[in-house]
Amino acid sequence: MKKAILYFTLFFIYISSITAQNHTVSGIIRDSLSRESLISVAIVERSKNIFTFCNEYGFYSISLPKGKNTLDIILLGYRKKTININSQNDTVLNIDLYQIDISLQQIIVKADIPQMNYYNLPMAKISKMPVIGGETDVLKALQLAPGVTSGNEGSASLNVRGGSPDQNLFLLDGVPVYNVNHVFGFFSVFNTDALKRVKLIKGGMPAEYHGHVSSVVDLYMKEGDLGKIRGKFTIGLISSKFILEGPVIKDKSSFIVTARRTYIDALFRPISKAIADNTITGYYFYDVNAKWNYKLSERSHLYLSFYSGKDKGFVKNDKKDNHDPDILKINTKQEIAWGNNTGTLRWMKIFGHKLSMNNTLFYTKYKYNSANEYFVQEKIEDDIVTKQYDLYNGSGIEDLGYKLNVDYFMSKNNKIKFGATVSQKKFFPNFTSEQFFDNSSLKDTIVKDKQISSATATAYEYSLYAQDNLSIGKFNTIFGVNANAFYVNGKLYYFIEPRMNLICNISKNINIQTSYSQVHQYLHLLTNSSLGMPTDLWVPSTENLNPISAEIYDAGCKLKLLKNIYVGLSIYYKTLDNLIKYKQGTDFMDVKTDWQDKVTIGNGRAYGIEFFAQKNNGKIKGQISYTYSRSFRTYEYINNGKEFSYIYDRPHNLNIQTEYQLNKKIMFVANWILMSGQNKTYGYERFVIEDIGELNTSLSYSYISDYNNIRLPIYHRLDLAFNYTNKREKTTRIWYLGIYNIYNRLNPFYMERSSQRNALTGISYAPITPFVSYSVIF
């Protein structure tokens, strides 16, 4: 408690010592066509070396000295706007920016040198990247960031700086999304057409975020065009999607709806019927995003957004027993389904020229279900007898909460942010029930409905934060504190987490940065070692299981080498405590054992060095990034308590991305990825032990020297994509063609025993794969 008081005292002394008197220019920055607010726009007064960025909701406020000032308004993908302003009084200035072809951007200024820990990706760039199946994916694009590795071949999972996928906080319009995978991780749940902006924060965690120890992926949905109805329809090899947006009341209210669905099930239905008569096998996923916004006034907006997505796989069998005419019907059905639902109601209000406030009410739910149903109907004498047995199993997590964020642009050098979050979390780590119906005794009908297990927990999470972004000369400091608490099963955990960033702009072309973050995570994801399964369980910290605790240190520098070339280097070190993992030999499908009895507690450490070089304009653009990183884990009941190399410990990771804009219509994109193979635990040797037990039994065992004893061969592949854009009078048509893994590298998805000694068979599911999609924009 003393520590908490000390932090807060220091923080408020620090803030109160900083004041300045200037005139303020403030307003909202919007897209000129859709009238949607924009994010991360830089507002720069070059001659006086003053700059600021608008917040996540497009609001900016900049303090300028009296007299004439020239403001440059800059955002990647938009034409730079220069505004001369004679600053005498506080002024409201809403600014519209014009979107330009991304290939023509010339927008690098000092203020654009981002923090090394942030990775911003324009959606226009993501939509041109080559991906398997042609389904562009925001998380696969983020995998190319330095310090980020992927999981299995084709997986959209993110492993940031030695962390695990569950340690990333995914926020969709400020709402946590718990399961970000479709098709066992091959696609993410985020439809790129619905998104306006995505930002990955790898370190130097801003104080407003808490609850996940590795990274934050902040995604913002589009708001809908306030001016006219627009849309896009895309048809691809495995899915189709559409987006429709437009005004409800012109310049006052707008909507956007996007939807996507795969048709693997429809394509596979005749094949499954051919393989087994009366059997239908299928798999599909869909997701729907919708958002409505209403302008209460120029300075007050209301937003309502919604997301729903689901994956479902099933095997149905419907038959009649030909050998026994008395069996009238036998039906069996097995299915699994999982998905998220989120909803947000946000009210944004601007007070005066310096303060904007966002109140958000949010709801998020992730649910996984499986069902096994057996039904038989038979004729016994003159009676029809029915027997039915159903077994249901599932897990889930549900949040309902409120969030307040306030941005206060105190002075030209000082921006303060503070807020609070309170949420109720309900956990359903495992529920299993069975139903049994039988009227075969003809006199008495037997009905059983039994709950086998139903472990639930309700928890409350609270967070208060304050952060000050202060510029003094060449130095820019971001100092913040997040105080958060978690109440579960009568146990209260609370932490005061200091967050510090120091940026020194040594010259116009060089800056160096260092940061320190302390973060705690109250949620744990229990996952198996093989696939990213929907059966993974979100479980809370409990009275016996402390929250994950992480400390992250990093430092880096970024410099401008030539006119358009930037290079950067950063290093990091991270410690992780109170991690959990299934004990060795645990069957994660065993629903009868409480999850707390199946886990072991451990810790981890990770470190690395990241390098990147970037060319952001011209006909040829690109980025090269290389990361050397290591990540280790130690658990009491795994690997005999010895430290082992983590599954996502991939020391070398090299990504090269290039884009070539041939002309306004044609663009080529190439990505080459090279990284160390994944770690796996496999035995390919054997030994025999004699004289076991009282029967002196002899048993043969597979030999595994250590957990994650095998590093799979080096992973590499080259992907090419070709974009052809044909603009017509009323529509734009886009052909998106490409080849995934063009030189057919067989990267293993998993390994299994081989027919040869001292060998394993590698199974690859992503050989050379062409893809195509066609979009019409109107």
Partner 1 sequence: MKKTILILIIISVLSCRKDFYYDFDHIPQVNVSCFLKAGDTVRVRLSYLVGDTLFGTILADKDYISKADVYLYEDNIFQEKLTYKEIPQINFVEKGWYYSQYFIPTEKHHYNLKIHVPDYDTVYAETYIPEAIPIDSIQINGEALKDSIIFDRNLASSVPDGILDFSVNIFFKDKSGTTNYYDFWSNKFFISYDPAIEPRYNREYYENISLAALKIAFFSDEIFDGHTYAINTKFKIDDYKFDYISEFPIKLGLNSLSYDAYAFYKSSYLYLKSLDNPFTEPVIIYSNVKNGTGVFAGISSVEDSFLIVPSQN
Interaction with partner 1 in 588-617: which residues (CB under 8 A)? 588-589
Do you know the residue count of the chain?
778
The reply to whether 624 sits near partner 1 by the rule CB under 8 A is no
Per-residue DSSP letter, 712: P
Q: Using CA atoms, how far apart are residues 663 and 103, in angstroms rounded to an integer?
A: 9
From the list 22, 99, 359, 372, which residue makes contact with partner 1 (rule: CB under 8 A)?
372
Among 90, 335, 551, 577, binds partner 1 (CB under 8 A): 335
Min CB(374)–partner 1 separation in Å: 13
Of the residues 110, 197, 560, 583, which one makes contact with partner 1 according to CB under 8 A: 583
Looking at the Cβ atoms of 343 and 748, the one nearer to partner 1 is 748
End-to-end CA distance of the chain: 59
> Is 277 an interacting residue with respect to partner 1 (CB under 8 A)?
no
Residue 721, CB-side half-sphere exposure with 13 Å CA sphere: 26
Q: Which is nearer to partner 1, 303 or 771 (CB)?
A: 771
Q: Rounded to an integer, what distance in angstroms lies between the CA atom of residue 485 and that of residue 465?
A: 12
- Name which position in 120, 254, 281, 469 contacts partner 1 (CB under 8 A): 281
What minimum distance in Å lies between the beta carbon of 369 and partner 1? Answer: 10
Bridge partner residues of 374 (DSSP): 332, 389
The helix (H) or strand (E) run that includes residue 9 is helix 2-16
Residues in binding contact with partner 1, number by CB under 8 A: 83
Here the tokens at position 696 are 């002196």
| Main-chain phi, psi angles of 266, to 5 degrees | -65, -40
Q: How far is the CB of 524 from partner 1 (least distance, A)?
A: 16
CA distance 741 to 744: 5
Residue 454 found at the interface with partner 1 (CB under 8 A): no
Distance CA 575, CA 553 (A): 9
Pair 772, 237: CB distance under 8 Å:
yes
In the window 149-178, what residues touch partner 1 (CB under 8 A)? none
**Residue 183 binds partner 1 (CB under 8 A):** yes
Among 396, 419, 547, 748, indicate the residue that binds partner 1 (CB under 8 A): 748
Q: Which of 353, 357, 340 is nearest to 170 (CA)?
A: 340
Q: Which residues pair with 295 in a beta bridge?
A: 301
Per-position x/- string for 634-653, each x denoting binding to partner 1 as judged by CB under 8 A, each - no binding: ----xxx-------------
Residue 332: closest CA among 381, 278, 253, 402:
278
Cβ closer to partner 1: 231 or 313? 313
Contact call for residue 760 and partner 1 (CB under 8 A): yes
The answer to whether 608 and 628 are in contact (CB under 8 A) is yes
- Closest separation in Å from C-beta 638 to partner 1: 8
Q: What is the DSSP string of 159-172?
A: EETT--GGGEEEEE
Please state the separation of Cα 327 from the chain's center in Å: 50
Shortest distance, CB of residue 641 to partner 1, whole angstroms?
11
- The tokens for 223 are 């708001």
Pick the binder of partner 1 from 144, 336, 459, 519 (CB under 8 A). Answer: 336
CB nearer partner 1, residue 684 or residue 722? 684
Nearer to partner 1, 573 or 749 (CB): 749
Rank residues 629 and 769 by Cβ distance to partner 1 and give the closer one.
769
Pick between residue 663 and residue 758 the one whose CB is nearest to partner 1.
758
Residue 334 touches partner 1, criterion: CB under 8 A: yes
Between CA 421 and CA 210 the distance in angstroms is: 10
Q: Which of residues 508-567 bind partner 1 (CB under 8 A)?
A: 528-531, 533, 535
Find the binding residues for partner 1 in span 297-316 (CB under 8 A).
Answer: 313-315
Q: How far is the CB of 132 from partner 1 (least distance, A)?
A: 10
Task: Find the part of the chain contacting partner 1 (CB under 8 A) among 77-85, 109-117, 656-664, 746-754.
Answer: 746-754
Amino acid at 37: S
Residue 489 engages partner 1 in binding (rule: CB under 8 A): no
Chain-centroid distance of CA 712 in Å reads 26
Taking residues 375 to 414 in sequence order and writing x for each that binds partner 1 by CB under 8 A, - otherwise, the string is ----------------x-x---------------------
Least distance to partner 1 from the beta carbon of 149, Å? 21
Smallest CA-to-CA distance from 220 within 40, 365, 47, 469 is with 40
Q: Which stretch in 40-48, 354-362, 464-472, 753-761 sits in contact with partner 1 by CB under 8 A?
A: 753-761
**What CA–CA distances, in Å, run from 518 to 58, 84, 203, 416, 497?**
29, 43, 10, 20, 5
765 forms part of the interface with partner 1 (CB under 8 A) = yes
> CB of residue 716 vs partner 1: minimum separation in angstroms?
15
Give the three-state DSSP class for 270: helix
Query: What is the enclosing helix (H) or strand (E) of 267?
Result: helix 264-275
One-letter-per-residue 3-state SS of 345-397: EEEEEEECCCEEEEEEEEEEEEEEEEEEEEEEEEEECCEEEEEEEEEEEEEEE
Which residue in 764, 774, 776, 777 binds partner 1 (CB under 8 A)? 764
Closest distance to partner 1 from the beta carbon of 530 (Å)? 7
Is there binding between residue 184 and partner 1 (CB under 8 A)? yes
Q: Give, as ranges, the residues between 253 and 272 that touch partner 1 (CB under 8 A).
A: 264, 268, 272
CB of residue 692 to partner 1, shortest distance in Å = 7
Greatest CA span in the chain, whole angstroms?
101
Min dist CB 168 to partner 1, Å, is 23
Residue pointed to by tokens 């699994």: 336
Residues numbered 682 to 741 that lie near partner 1 (CB under 8 A) are 682-695, 697, 699-707, 710, 712-713
**Which residue in 358, 511, 681, 725 binds partner 1 (CB under 8 A)?**
681
The distance of closest approach from Cβ of residue 639 to partner 1 in the complex, given in angstroms and rounded to an integer, is 6
Residue type, 7: Y
- Residue 185 tokens read as 């991780």
Say which amino acid occupies 259: A
Interaction of residue 751 with partner 1, rule CB under 8 A: yes
Neighbour-count burial of 447, counting CB atoms closer than 10 A to its CB (0-12 exposed, 13-18 middle, 19+ buried)? exposed
* Dihedral-angle region of residue 192 (phi above 0 means left; psi in -120 to 50 means alpha; beta otherwise): alpha
User: What is the rounded distance in angstroms from the CA atom of residue 411 to the CA atom of residue 775?
Assistant: 46
Using CB under 8 A as the binding rule, the residues of this chain from 342 to 371 that contact partner 1 are 370
Q: Name the minimum Å distance from CB 700 to partner 1.
A: 7
Site string for partner 1, 106-125 (x = CB under 8 A): --------------------
Q: Which span (450-458, 463-471, 557-565, 756-764) binds partner 1, by CB under 8 A?
A: 756-764
Nearer to partner 1 among residue 52 and residue 769 (C-beta): 769
Q: Is the CB of 418 or the CB of 588 nearer to partner 1? A: 588
Cβ atoms of 50 and 62 within 8 Å: the answer is yes
450 near partner 1, rule: CB under 8 A = no
Judged by CB under 8 A, does residue 317 bind partner 1? no
HEC profile for 28-84?
EEEECCCCCECCCCEEEECCCCEEEECCCCCEEEEEECCEEEEEEEECCCECCEEEE
Judged by CB under 8 A, which of 229, 450, 754, 778 binds partner 1? Answer: 754
Is residue 19 a contact point for partner 1 (CB under 8 A)? no
